[in-house]
Structure 1
């Protein structure tokens, strides 16, 4: 389900428009081809929105195809997580999910065809020797001593490879192209290697597995893909993509088009680095809310609409750049500001006693679920003599800029009464344990009947009815904008990226669900953790009410300039 508002065009859509106008294609067929070696991240979301969105906008089709050519790193759990993420983002693939392994028989046949044409050979060189023979960007490579082996001998050797007669790493099948090519990818790339490992789809049928560059283009062609969209790091690989299809007997020849990948600040987009974070216990798992994975964003309270909107806002270009985290956060703020119900929570509680409120009485006050959307209705919030408020909302002394509760002065309780702080009680260490107040019974609601103005409004929870809850407050996972550029990216981890607080929420939140983000008034947007034990209220912070990082970064830049 793509968003309905009109989006600006881009160079990919311009190519598609021209292809349809010229009659080169009658319809559009794209694909999303993830490797199931980890969870999808926000960078994959950009590709999902692009591929599925284009197919939808042009009334075409989009396949989900798993690039499962390296069973050493792949897991069925990853496959299932990818399916969930695509559907959660609002998209549905054409037919059943496809796998590159569906085409292993055809791929093997095309490898034999290349051997028969004298365009592939079995190489027994070691990896070190092949690396040396490959040359450099400034120097051409040198031919392998096995490059001129005859066709019949290569056919026999490949047959023996397929039969499992050689050890892993003993030999491989290489394309015979040009060792002097200025494009490294065309210097006799490996097409097949030996892997004595069980495959999650084909079992033990194969002990030779095709490489990505050989598999991808043929899989695209077999599926009738019209436009094969991939990121810029595969730009040079397009030469090999075209070479393979030009030299085998296949009718379809898709067009590969490259676009810039997403680089998001204060996190990493490499699945290898993300996997290291998981394996080293730096995060709780692939779906840790600090991770840029789709599962992590979902657990943190991001919505599919906010992620789609983010992908639309950053656009599609051929220029690599760093996208500010604030842009992603702005998208979820915009979405939740309009859609998230309001509630009250206190995360660092201090006790308030309203001395002139009857001890054995309480009342239910009306509170709107959304201040600008009457269709969301109202809820009943209990009010009693004893309340919890945020410790930071009280000062014994403060200047005029402090718009909260101050000793001897008044403040309004959200959706309730005006109260005045009269005195405090402290423990042996001098910490305030209780604030004693008086309330004005004539000030219920937002407009006090006596007409006096109260500048501050604070939130609260009735102590008698409060429900204990845990709050997980998140910050950027890394301390620097581009941790991937650091030699030791672990050293840039933000050790304060997770702060856990214990507090209280109003009783209505006992019915909270993990698929409904909330705005805790004056605190930020939160969602019930989808892994919380039954009966426990654990809320993950989605994002604050405003971009506090923008101010921090501005101060850091100003400090650097002054230095």
Structure 2
């Protein structure tokens, strides 16, 4: 621990968890009071002790859809509150009137709940909007003016930028920095009253224009914006800057550990300065929130830049924000990814200050692990080829049985119709087999999984020479589950569906959206690195029972991977399936 950075960074996988444990052991927040809702110090002064041992928050700005990176923050903040007897608040940081919409608010609420977290229980409902704190923020700003810690600056944006200085040059004081307290108070009231045009004045904190940290060179804390806000309408024409609003929001909500990503590390000195000034004035209760920074989730084969994601959508490189190839949580949900898979990924990635690049295969492995545990098995033939059992009676059928989940016998078995004509995978037959090939070829035997052993007798072709059907004879005594099942030893084991009962359906084979690990790295255009095979649509033959799959229902298609009935495009009796992930990672071996 150094004097310049008092935050200890533990070598463990989650250094913030270590900080929380130390704070609780020291009783750091044991005497905090909580009025049951956010407020200034006077509201909490006579309230009971806070029943939450810690308070964290997830504070998204409702100006877009959440992506994989947000999942890390959600799991971290809600997970810490859950594990340490605390509360996590969902706070919409809606202080910008020009970019926020109710559509995004609704999608964020759905995403957090889908990941398995909630901000409400029998005692508390901790869903908040920063815009509801505007009166308190104005009160804080007016206190700073009265205490000589803030002033109204009338420079243009260009002049302010020029006088701010650089990393190697000190800034210059504004010519308006020494306005009297009375003049600043008058101007700020007139700003609130709407007398001035946008950009005419800003309210700035008065700190130190010579500070080596540019963020302490009199940062702007209020600006004029004549814009309609989604929550407060036209009530205000001045709005707080994010760096001013955020620490106040934390303090009003009794947040103990304010957890941010690394780009906010340079802002922490202003965070602390502001809260100290307001606590000195009696507006905020102590102990004050403390900010801690962690590294973002950075994945290969993905872009998480909001600008780039918007470009993908607006230029129609994808079908929308919920396109299953998009690294958004709505896209992940539609693709069939699981909340448990994201939570497992975050546990394995850990929390540190190291900006590491995580291979996308780790995310896919986490999804496979959770899906393997959860998903019932079904059979699908993705590249169908007709198989005709020539010695099976025409018009006859029977039911074979297959387990719904090999790891969960309590889920029982399902019936699979079996008859003379079946669908098998085209790759399961070779007229001239390669070395080591154990499936069907003339003269060879293989087992139809859950059914019979069959012997290939030949094939049929069309005029172009394309194989249209495989011909076989079955061995009646070899039915699976009977004493004769092991009487004939074979090496090949084939998946099949009954042609007469099969469900014909569209299946979408999704893969990574980009073909390079770091799209857009250096000076490259990230759009040139889009994977042209990131979505292939095929017509497949599925097990009959899959016709009744519900939108959003997920299965393991034996041999092929994990699939979900598309939540939007699937209709009753006509499902459309999306591949979430293959059974094993083949990206490095096949290139896609």
TM range (shorter): over 0.9
What CA distance in whole angstroms lies between the structure 2 residues aligned with 1:388 and 1:504?
7
One of 500, 503, 511 as aligned partner of 1:475: 511
Match of 2:559 in 1: 522
What CA distance in whole angstroms lies between the structure 1 residues aligned with 2:519 and 2:28?
44
Counterparts of 1:256-271 in structure 2, within 5 Å, are: 256-271=291-306
Compared CA separation, residues 134 and 235, structure 1 to 2 (3 A): same
Contact 2:453 2:474 in 1 (8 A): yes
1:423 aligns with 2:458: yes
Match of 1:5 in 2: none
Compared CA separation, residues 99 and 431, structure 1 to 2 (3 A): same
One of 442, 447, 466 as aligned partner of 2:477: 442
Structure 1, gaps ≥5 residues long: 1-7, 557-563
SS in structure 2 of the partner of residue 236 of structure 1: helix
What CA distance in whole angstroms lies between the structure 2 residues aligned with 1:124 and 1:395?
81
SS in structure 1 of the partner of residue 490 of structure 2: coil
Counterparts of 1:265-284 in structure 2, within 5 Å, are: 265-284=300-319
What CA distance in whole angstroms lies between the structure 2 residues aligned with 1:306 and 1:72?
35
Match of 2:428 in 1: 393
Match of 1:91 in 2: 117
Contact 2:379 2:495 in 1 (8 A): yes
One of 96, 101, 106 as aligned partner of 1:70: 96
1:38 aligns with 2:64: yes
What CA distance in whole angstroms lies between the structure 1 residues aligned with 2:100 and 2:521?
27
One of 113, 123, 139 as aligned partner of 2:143: 113
Contact 2:405 2:411 in 1 (8 A): yes
Counterparts of 1:333-348 in structure 2, within 5 Å, are: 333-348=368-383
Match of 1:155 in 2: 185
Compared CA separation, residues 494 and 128, structure 1 to 2 (3 A): farther
One of 414, 439, 452 as aligned partner of 2:488: 452
1:51 aligns with 2:77: yes
Compared CA separation, residues 486 and 399, structure 1 to 2 (3 A): same
What CA distance in whole angstroms lies between the structure 2 residues aligned with 1:543 and 1:89?
19
Compared CA separation, residues 193 and 532, structure 1 to 2 (3 A): same
Deviations 1:61-92 (A, max 9, x none): 11110110112111111111111111111111
Which shifted more, 443-452 or 56-65? Answer: 443-452
Contact 1:418 1:443 in 2 (8 A): yes
Structure 2, gaps ≥5 residues long: 1-11, 31-52
Which shifted more, 97-106 or 144-153? Answer: 144-153
Match of 2:45 in 1: none
Deviations 1:358-410 (A, max 9, x none): 11111111111112321111001111111111112221112232232223312
Residue 278 of structure 1 deviates from its aligned partner by: 1.6
1:548 aligns with 2:552: no
What CA distance in whole angstroms lies between the structure 2 residues aligned with 1:418 and 1:46?
49
SS in structure 2 of the partner of residue 122 of structure 1: strand
Residue 237 of structure 1 deviates from its aligned partner by: 0.6
SS in structure 1 of the partner of residue 239 of structure 2: strand
How many residues are matched?
Answer: 547
Counterparts of 1:74-473 in structure 2, within 5 Å, are: 74-94=100-120, 95-248=125-278, 249=281, 250-252=284-286, 253-445=288-480, 448-449=484-485, 451-473=487-509
What CA distance in whole angstroms lies between the structure 1 residues aligned with 2:485 and 2:134?
79
Deviations 1:143-168 (A, max 9, x none): 22322222222222222221222222
Contact 1:326 1:550 in 2 (8 A): no
What CA distance in whole angstroms lies between the structure 1 residues aligned with 2:20 and 2:195?
47
Q: Which runs of 4+ in 1 moved over 6 A?
A: none
What CA distance in whole angstroms lies between the structure 2 residues aligned with 1:400 and 1:454?
16
Compared CA separation, residues 189 and 458, structure 1 to 2 (3 A): same
Residue 457 of structure 1 deviates from its aligned partner by: 1.0
Residue 343 of structure 1 deviates from its aligned partner by: 0.5
Residue 499 of structure 1 deviates from its aligned partner by: 0.8
Deviations 1:11-42 (A, max 9, x none): 21222222122221122111111111111112
Residue 238 of structure 1 deviates from its aligned partner by: 0.5
Residue 118 of structure 1 deviates from its aligned partner by: 2.4
SS in structure 1 of the partner of residue 423 of structure 2: strand
Residue 450 of structure 1 deviates from its aligned partner by: 6.3
Compared CA separation, residues 449 and 162, structure 1 to 2 (3 A): closer
One of 512, 532, 537 as aligned partner of 1:495: 532
> TM-score, normalised on structure 1?
0.93
Compared CA separation, residues 9 and 324, structure 1 to 2 (3 A): closer
Which shifted more, 248-257 or 422-431? Answer: 422-431
What CA distance in whole angstroms lies between the structure 1 residues aligned with 2:203 and 2:307?
26
SS in structure 2 of the partner of residue 405 of structure 1: coil
What CA distance in whole angstroms lies between the structure 1 residues aligned with 2:166 and 2:498?
71
Which shifted more, 102-111 or 510-519? Answer: 510-519
Residue 284 of structure 1 deviates from its aligned partner by: 1.5
1:24 aligns with 2:28: yes
Contact 1:340 1:516 in 2 (8 A): no
Deviations 1:105-150 (A, max 9, x none): 0101111111222222222333233222222222222222322222
Deviations 1:35-67 (A, max 9, x none): 111111121111111111111111111111011
Contact 2:449 2:495 in 1 (8 A): yes
What CA distance in whole angstroms lies between the structure 2 residues aligned with 1:393 and 1:435?
10
SS in structure 1 of the partner of residue 401 of structure 2: strand
Compared CA separation, residues 247 and 417, structure 1 to 2 (3 A): same
Match of 1:560 in 2: none
What CA distance in whole angstroms lies between the structure 2 residues aligned with 1:400 and 1:492?
37
Residue 459 of structure 1 deviates from its aligned partner by: 0.8
Residue 533 of structure 1 deviates from its aligned partner by: 4.1
1:511 aligns with 2:541: no
Deviations 1:284-337 (A, max 9, x none): 122211112222111111121111111111001111100111111111111111
Aligned-residue CA RMSD (Å): 1.8
Which shifted more, 162-171 or 520-529? Answer: 162-171
Compared CA separation, residues 486 and 377, structure 1 to 2 (3 A): farther
